[in-house]
Structure 1
Amino acid sequence: MGALNIFSLLFLGAAFIAQSNGAINRFIPMWCVDLHASPGVSTFNSTKDAMQACVESNTCIGFKKTSDNGYQLLRGLTGYTFNETSRDYYLWDKTGGKTFQNQPNELDALILFAIYPNDECPFPFDIVGSLCRGRSGVSREMCYSYPTYMAPQHDGTNCYVLQKQTVINSWA
């Protein structure tokens, strides 16, 4: 709980801004949080370069500081853990300023919109009825790394999670 309180204090005051095609894109430093995401291959020498590359990518959810002057893009977010010493992650805020009355904590709207960056299902999931079904390669371990509010279930073959709007409706 201490990490959540520290995060709350730090989270409210900081954001990095990137501009693209006249739009303003906010990147939130995720202090005290480790993001569970896949790193990209390319490295960048500044936060500005990493933000610009992220904004130009279809799959980027943010970036991670890997050295004093090194940054890697992140994609495929599945969740997060609190880590009081972490200062390495920057999450692209795609919420448009939206928060929800019953979201689990201040962080979860940001996380939800990063897990579902463009669609009703996370990548690599497809809509199947009222759920999202993972394509091949979504292991049992990966499936259960999604936050519990997505109701992840693995049936031995496929992973299923709730669609984004279903989660949002549960937070209303």
Structure 2
Amino acid sequence: MRVLIAISFLLLSALIGGSYGGVEVFLNILCVQFYATPTGRTFESPIAAMKYCVGTSTCVGFQKTSDNGYQQLYRLTGYAVNQTCHDYYLWDKTGGISFPNQPNELEAAILFAIYPNTECPTTFDVDGSLCRGRSSITEDICGTYPSYMAARYDGTSCIVVQKQEVIKSWS
């Protein structure tokens, strides 16, 4: 399975898609299903979805939902390689940064989408050196985070490591 994921990401890395104003980059990810929450209205083009996403602090990307429909995504928790290809567009917030020991070429973009603005994922709070999920993070959702986040459910909360701990392990 790990080999399939690596091969899929190597293939996908060549599909880096459009930009907005020459600054914001969205990666067109095929044959991967994001575990994320769709929200908001449907847009008629990927450019319209990109522009709206860039203007929203919680957007991590968008998904093609029909021939001419695109919907924003927020609260990315992970992904799965999926034989039935879906068009997902991930907002790459890495600024071109990669790490020598990251699991694959696109994992830094996934990490920065899961941890968009702080040391903890969206709807998590800092709890000492860890991040503790709020009540909306169920045990099922907790199980979708990538293994490098060391996610565990303690019976009431999902607990993950902070972003800098992941980055330190990849350096």
Normalising by structure 1, report the TM-score: 0.93
Question: 1:30 offset after TM fit, Å?
Answer: 0.5
Greater mean deviation of Cα atoms: 62-71 or 105-114:
105-114
Contact 2:150 2:160 in 1 (8 A): yes
CA distance in 1, matches of 2:40, 2:142: 24
Matches within 5 A, 1:1-172: 1-2=3-4, 4-19=6-21, 24-172=23-171
State the Cα RMSD in Å.
1.4
Q: Distance in 1 between matches of 2:4 and 2:142?
A: 28
Q: In the aligned structure 2, how far is the partner of 1:159 from the partner of 1:61? A: 21
TM-score, with normalisation over the residues of structure 2?
Answer: 0.93
**How has the CA–CA distance of structure 1 residues 119 and 103 changed in structure 2, closer, same or farther, with 3 Å as cutoff?**
same
Give CA deviations for 1:29-67 in whole Å, capped at 9, x if unaligned.
Answer: 001211110001211010110000100001000000001
What amino acid is aligned across from residue 88 of structure 2 in structure 1?
Y
Distance 1:148 1:2 in 2: 16
By how many angstroms is 1:145 displaced? Answer: 1.0
Q: Which runs of 4+ in 1 moved over 4 A?
A: none
Unaligned runs of 5+ in 2: none
What is the total number of aligned residue pairs between the two structures? 169
Provide, for residues 58-100 of structure 1, a one-character-per-residue CA deviation record: whole Å limited to 9, x for no partner: 1000000001110000000000001244141000000111111
Matches of 1:161 and 1:141, distance apart in 2: 14
Q: Is the 8 A contact 1:7 1:31 kept in 2?
A: no
**Aligned amino acid, residue 63 of structure 1:** F
Give, in whole Å, the separation in 2 of the partners of 1:155 and 1:42. Answer: 35
State the 1:9 CA deviation. Answer: 2.7
Matched residues, percent identical?
Answer: 54
Say whether the 8 Å CA contact 1:65–1:71 is kept in structure 2: yes
Partner letter of residue 145 of structure 2?
Y
Counterpart CA distance in 2 for 1:28 and 1:65 is: 13
Q: Provide closer, same or farther for how the CA distance between residues 142 and 13 of structure 1 changes in structure 2, counting only shifts above 3 A.
A: closer
Aligned partner of residue 16 in structure 2, secondary structure: coil
Unaligned runs of 5+ in 1: none
- Alpha-carbon offset, residue 3 of structure 1: 5.2
